[in-house]
Structure formats: structure tokens, C-alpha cells
Amino acid sequence: MNERLAAIDAAEDARHVHGRPTSIGFDFEQERPLLRPLPADGYDCGIDLTPVVHRNGRVTVRQCYYSVPAKFIGLKVRVKLRANELWIYDGRHVVARHPRLTRRYTFHDILDQYLEILLVKPGAFAGASALAQARAEGGFTKTHEAFWAAAKQKCGDQEGTRQLIEVLLLHRQLPAHAVIAGMATVVRIGSISTDLVAIEARKAIEDTEETDLHPHGGTADDETADQESGDRADEGAKVISLNARRLPSDARSALPDMSKYDRPLMPVKNTATTRKGTSA
């Protein structure tokens, strides 16, 4: 369409208005210096709407339904409806972005926006429409499926699903590729733990940063230096035996006498006597 509009503009520039010796394009170039400058802010082509979030966590826009984070249920939000997408705002912050739906009564859900509810009711996770859409769009990967299956086998359906949801919440803080790498490592070693996934995810981020700082293709001296630094890192990562790190023996022949420090702790004997004819 853009190419077609450009061709129409070129043909219009070459056209002559009846009674004028010059073309439209020539006259426009003469008038261009007299035009006002373009505005600094871009023109917003969207439509602003303010729907109310239903109790199912969705808003209705042009007879289509879009999910919103659960904490906005019952509140009015601002929606920016554009040609290809829909943005949902909380004040000036975007809280949800959806592709614009064109068929009536269709819906688009984002799994991350229902995690707080599903964490309380993990039994509803398997049949959630947001999970089906996440699978179809590729956000819920085979690694997620493998972690979920391993967690259910080890902890049961409800507790295993709850651990999966806690891992999905990590996507809000860590990159998706790092969380997926952490899940793959945890499944491989056979220890299902949300904390361990977070640790392995952060390790994946550090490895990625080191790769970006030291890409392949260096000289032989660089490779030797990297090998030496790797050897030093391996040496620092070894487990130290406590037997090899015992304190040296005491060189003193005899320990000092500590009995004088026990004297203040001894009870004081009452040596006073009672005389006859007097009261105590």
C-alpha cells in the first residue's frame, strides 16, 4: 500500500492544473519554505477508551475481550486502541499490550496476568485459557512442560503446579532465556526447587555477560590468559577440607590459673551472730 501511495504522489506531482504553466510538484517546492515546522510530538493515531475491568480480569473493547492484571479488577483503566494493537494503562504506565482482535466475541489472555490467582488455586492452571494461548504463541515452552511434569511427579499435582507458577513469576524479574536455562539445569540434575532455578538463571545471565565482554576470535595470548584465569577460578571453586585447615596447636606448656575469676561467683557466707537480749 505504501508503494502504491508513493506512485500516486509522484503522478500527482507531475500533473498540471488547468491554466497554470508549472506542475503541482514544482509549485509545492516553491511553497515549502513558507510552511510551518512539524510538531515535535508525533501524532497519536489511537483512540482513548476507559472501560471497567470485569471480575474475570478482562476488559471489553469493541465487542472483544482483553486480559488485565488481576489487581485492577473492578477498576476503570485507560485503553489506547490502535490499528494493530491495544495498550492498557495504569496512569502513565503500560500494564498490558495485546494484538488487536478483529472478530467479535473473541478474547486474548496473557498468562502472566493470572499468576497471582492461579497461585492460590493451582488446580485451575491446567485448564486455563491463558495457558492454552501461551502454548500456542510459544511462551510456554517444552522446558516449562518438562519442569512441570518433574515437579508434579516429585511433589504431587497441586504443589508441583504451585512451584511451576512460582518459576513463571521469575519471568517478571529475569530474562526469559535465563529462566528457561535455569529450569533446564534443574530438571537435568533432578532437584526441583524454585530457588535453585533462580540461582541457575542468574548464572546464565553472568555467562552471557562474560561471553559478550570476551567474544571468541582473540589471539593466542588472549586464549592463554583466559585458560589461566579459568584454572584459577577452578582452583577457587574447590571444596576446602576442614582437616587441612585446622588451627595450630597451643605452644604454651600450661594453661593459666583461672580460679580467681570464679571467686565473684561464689556465695557470700553470713558470719554475723545474734546476741542475747537483742532483737534481730
Write down the pLDDT at residue 77: 95
In terms of DSSP bridges, do strands 58-61 and 93-99 run parallel, antiparallel, or are they unpaired? unpaired
pLDDT value of position 213: 63
| Dist CA 32 CA 224 (whole Å) | 63
Cβ neighbours for 53, distance < 8 A, ≥ 6 positions apart: 59, 68, 72, 73, 74, 75, 76, 77
Specify the residue for cell string 545471565: 205
DSSP tag of 61: E
What pLDDT is recorded for position 18?
86
Region at 74 (left for phi over 0; alpha for psi -120 to 50; beta for the rest): left
pLDDT of 41 reads: 84
pLDDT for the residue numbered 179: 93
At residue 271, the pLDDT reads: 57
Q: Consecutive sets of 10 residues in the chain, 280 residues long: mean pLDDT of each?
A: 94 90 92 90 88 94 94 94 94 93 93 92 92 92 93 91 93 92 90 88 83 58 50 44 52 72 72 52
Ranges assigned E (strand) in the chain: 47-49, 58-61, 64-67, 78-81, 85-90, 93-99, 107-108
Run of H or E residues at 201: helix 194-213
Give the SS3 label for residue 154: helix
Does residue 164 contact residue 144 with C-beta atoms inside 8 Å?
A: yes
C-alpha 117/C-alpha 112 separation (Å) is: 10
Rounded Cα–Cα distance for residues 244 and 223 (Å): 34
CB 139 within 8 A of CB 111: yes
Report the chain's C-alpha Rg in angstroms.
Answer: 37
pLDDT for the residue numbered 39: 86
